[in-house]
Amino acid sequence: MGEGVTKMKKITVLPFLFLCCAVVVRAQSDQFLYSKMPDVFPGSRQLTLEGDLSVIMLDGAHKFIERKIDESINARQQLWKRDLSSADAYEKSVEPNRTHFTKYIGVVDKSEPPVSYNVGFPEKYPAPSMQKFADGDDDILVAETSRYRIYQVRWPVFNRVNGEGLLIEPKSKPVATVVAIPDADQQPEQLIGLSKGVAPGSQFARHLAENGYQVLIPVIISRDTVFAGEDKQQTYREWLYRQSFQMGRHIIGYEVQKIMSAIDWFKKNDKNLKIGVAGYNEGGLLAFYTAAADKRVDAVLVSGYFNSRQKVWDEPVYRNVWALLTEFGDAEIASLIAPRALTIEHSAVQTLVDQLEPSLQKKMQVEGLPYTGYKGKIQTPSFASMQSEFNRIDGFVKQNFQQRQLISGKNGQAVKFGSKEALQAFTKSLGNIRAIAISNEIPNDKRKNYDPHARQLRQVREIEDDIQQLVRDSDRERDRFFLHKIMPEIPRRNWSTQPYHQYFPVSKFTDKSDEYRKYFAEEILGRFHDELLPFNPQTRKVYDRERWTGYEVVLDVFPDVMATGILLIPKNIKSGEHRPVVVCQHGRNDYPRKLIEGNVTTYNDVAAKLADQGFVVYVPQNPYRGEDRYRWLARKGNNVKKTLFSFITSQHEQTIKWLGSLAFVDKNRIAYYGLSYGGQTAMRVPPILEGYCLSICAGDFGDWTKKVTDTHYKGSFMNTLEWEMPYFNMGNTFSYAEMAYLIFPRPFMVERGHHDLIQPDAWVGYEFGKIRFFYDQFNLGDKAEIEYFNGGHSMRGEGTFRFLHKHLNWP
């Protein structure tokens, strides 16, 4: 990029400075250089775009990221080095890809050995066990037919998480073992015929049991709503997805690990028994992903799920997997299963639309902003799309290397899931050549107190408890990840009295911090590596005040991506003078003019007041506007390892370069001051862009991990509509203290209203205490400040103004 930037300066910056010099010549008779300014800023073109520029900006950003998604199909092939010389060589060659896949879906190494839950079956079920248990007054034995028995079972996964479901044991020696996974809207009992809701022809768990298979049907997390009847709709799957994503886990990963732990038990009891996994819809996803993650799975049947994933961003948010499309489509995931067998069944699924806050739709209509009103949908894919993706597997592994089959009805019609033809192909791949025989013998449930809702809540709460424990431990985990590695000499924060030590030289930290800055930019926020376009500035004068002139500005960033904002230029700048700049940033759903006029209590006209005091001020339009339009941008970005801040960082990078090119700007004194979502920007962009010489975070500071994941705090994003706030694995790597460490040694300040409901004072004080402690180790405590005031979510503009004057050395 360095060479590209140099060329860009030759093209745009020098002519622009030349034109600015022309203004100097023309204004020699004026006392001040910029007292009279033209309608179009010198060195720029006339801005003719009309309407809400934030909408135009978002439209362009969506085009750009969709192009990146389209390009991912070819780009991801560079990350694979398949060796087809033998099965062992192939498995070894794709192991790095499998490692990436399991990381992204949140499958983690078990931190402790499984707990034994043996109850009454010590000789048959050695630890780790699959416990057969009585639920309430019910018997362990749920039902029995002439061919098999059904038991209630529970098995340990890790920590405080257990799997639950039904175990079907044939009365003869099992042919093989199959984990049969229902859809999220199905109960295990429905796949065996104990409960109504699944047609007899689709009860594939029962059909397998009747043919001599040992079958486990796990409970999976449902799509029932957490806040039934409220605007802030979330399913249980989304509820757990949001929490786990921030902590480097995933609802998908938790459920895959439940299946893998069941396989642990099956293999312990008979290591030679073949293992198959089969699932429908959400269960199809889990079967597919489990087979890709666990090489012990001999064959897999995927029904109602396989398709091109290029629009996975349009599926329910709980299917959002960080960086998925950078390396994996369904064809690539299928290649992780090779050389093991794969059967795909083109079955119909019920169309589901994850509806969103109807009251917000009315609000957006009033403001004239786009609003989709949903968070994702599931629908039956076309056979042509499925077949196209299935055929892509041939480009990676040929049919003679992997036994695979695509099952459909006549002329590609969707079949009812669990069809006899699909089961026949699946069982054949498990080594059973006998024809599948299906009977009409339906088992009768003996239980009297069976409560599927109580069981579901138990499963939800176990996962939630595990995530919340990770949240409670996250502070120490971040210290281990960052501070204790980069500066082990810094005394640990503990109860003991530390002996006095000499201050550390700044270079001792900064020499090592670049690797963490890169990690934060690449692995947590995502960074575009496209070459920035020439600025191509477009402007129009929108303010002519007593002390300053204001221009609306549009800059090119990438093809279809622009940066826009309002530049305020003091009229008393003298020839040859270089002023400091303060970039003032608005919050969610707002726009630059709110910081300039109207005396909006949230912003108190801070941009205008700073310009009155002689600062050059720039007020960018950040893209978090339109309520859910920008959330969809974040979703699309996640699929290719990007976030909303991938766009914001690039826009600010271009903005800093442009501001630094202006004749009256001191490029070494460009400061940042943002509120709310702008405060989030204060914590994310300056750590990456060192062109900001200081940063002020207003109305957003605190423990970000708790803010995103703490289910017990009413103001947490878990209890609001903001479904784009989690960043994959940020909870274990960076909160606001760690982000401030990357701002160091530049000045950093927090502006905090005691009555701001974003986070409690206690969280704010604790997190800032870590920052002040850190700055003090280098004798730079005067560069880290916090101002509390009696007020709410706003820019007060008092202590922050003093901070800006002091550290920008103005006047």
In this structure, the number of other CB atoms found within 10 A of the CB of residue 398 comes to: 11
**pLDDT tens for each residue of 161-193:** 999 999 999 999 999 999 999 999 999 999 999
Average pLDDT rounded to a whole number, residues 58-63: 97
Determine the 3-state secondary structure of 480 from DSSP.
helix
Average pLDDT rounded to a whole number, residues 676-704: 98
Q: How confident is the model at residue 393 (pLDDT cuts 50, 70, 90)?
A: very high
Q: Say which residue, 17 or 476, is predicted with more confidence.
A: 476
**pLDDT tens for each residue of 513-562:** 999 999 999 999 999 999 999 999 999 999 999 999 999 999 999 999 99
Is residue 498 pLDDT above 90, yes or no? no
Q: Is 499 exposed, middle or buried (0-12, 13-18, 19+ CB in 10 A)?
A: exposed
DSSP H helices, 662-798, are 677-684, 704-709, 736-743, 761-776
Q: pTM (2 decimals)?
A: 0.92
**Which pLDDT does position 3 carry in this prediction?**
37
DSSP one-letter string for 122-147: TTTSPSS--EE---TT--SEEEE-SS
Average pLDDT rounded to a whole number, residues 34-39: 92
**Which pLDDT does position 620 carry in this prediction?**
98
Average pLDDT rounded to a whole number, residues 572-594: 96
Phi first, then psi: give them for residue 225, nearest 5 degrees. Answer: -90, 140
Rounded to whole angstroms, the Cα distance separating 676 from 725 reads 13
Rounded to whole angstroms, the Cα distance separating 480 from 355 reads 40
Is residue 566 pLDDT above 70, yes or no? yes
Q: How confident is the model at residue 361 (pLDDT cuts 50, 70, 90)?
A: low
> Which of 792, 702, 691, 779 has the alpha carbon at shortest distance from 740?
702
Cβ-proximal residues to 295 (8 Å cutoff; 6+ apart), any chain: 91, 340
**pLDDT tens for each residue of 608-633:** 999 999 999 999 999 999 878 999 99
Is residue 148 pLDDT above 50, yes or no? yes
> Which of 517, 467, 585 has the alpha carbon at shortest distance from 738?
517
**Which pLDDT does position 129 carry in this prediction?**
63
Tokens of 210: 């009747």
Q: How confident is the model at residue 67 (pLDDT cuts 50, 70, 90)?
A: very high
CB 255 within 8 A of CB 460: no
**Which pLDDT does position 271 carry in this prediction?**
87
Q: How confident is the model at residue 13 (pLDDT cuts 50, 70, 90)?
A: very low
β-strands 616-620, 665-675: how paired? unpaired
**pLDDT tens for each residue of 300-339:** 999 999 999 999 999 999 999 999 999 999 999 999 999 9
Average pLDDT rounded to a whole number, residues 685-691: 98
Q: Three-state SS string across 253-305, please?
A: HHHHHHHHHHHHHHHHHCCCCCEEEEEECHHHHHHHHHHHHCCCCCEEEEECC
**pLDDT tens for each residue of 195-222:** 999 999 999 999 999 999 999 999 999 9
**pLDDT tens for each residue of 255-314:** 999 999 999 999 998 889 999 999 999 999 999 999 999 999 999 999 999 999 999 999
User: Distances from the Cα of 250 to the Cαs of 104, 189, 325, 378, in angstroms?
Assistant: 8, 26, 17, 19
Mean pLDDT, all residues of the chain:
91
Is residue 123 pLDDT above 70, yes or no? no
Is residue 410 pLDDT above 80, yes or no? yes
Is the torsion defined by CA of 494, 500, 501, 503 positive or negative? positive
Rounded to whole angstroms, the Cα distance separating 140 from 151 reads 6
The single-letter DSSP state of residue 380 is P
Average pLDDT rounded to a whole number, residues 386-400: 95
Is residue 141 pLDDT above 90, yes or no? yes
* Max intra-chain CA distance, the chain: 106
**Which pLDDT does position 399 carry in this prediction?**
86
Q: How confident is the model at residue 360 (pLDDT cuts 50, 70, 90)?
A: low
Determine the 3-state secondary structure of 163 from DSSP.
strand
Determine the 3-state secondary structure of 750 from DSSP.
strand
β-strands 161-170, 214-218: how paired? antiparallel
**Which pLDDT does position 7 carry in this prediction?**
37
> Please, which residues bridge with residue 143 across strands?
150
Is residue 87 pLDDT above 60, yes or no? yes
> Which of 237, 350, 333 has the alpha carbon at shortest distance from 288?
333
Could you identify the residue written with the tokens 């004080």? 765
To the nearest whole percent, how much of the chain has pLDDT over 70?
A: 90
**Which pLDDT does position 495 carry in this prediction?**
53
Q: Is 411 exposed, middle or buried (0-12, 13-18, 19+ CB in 10 A)?
A: exposed
User: Distances from the Cα of 601 to the Cαs of 234, 421, 699, in angstroms?
Assistant: 32, 67, 13
CB 658 within 8 A of CB 555: yes
Rounded to whole angstroms, the Cα distance separating 583 from 313 reads 33
Determine the 3-state secondary structure of 628 from DSSP.
coil
**Which pLDDT does position 122 carry in this prediction?**
31
Q: How confident is the model at residue 600 (pLDDT cuts 50, 70, 90)?
A: very high
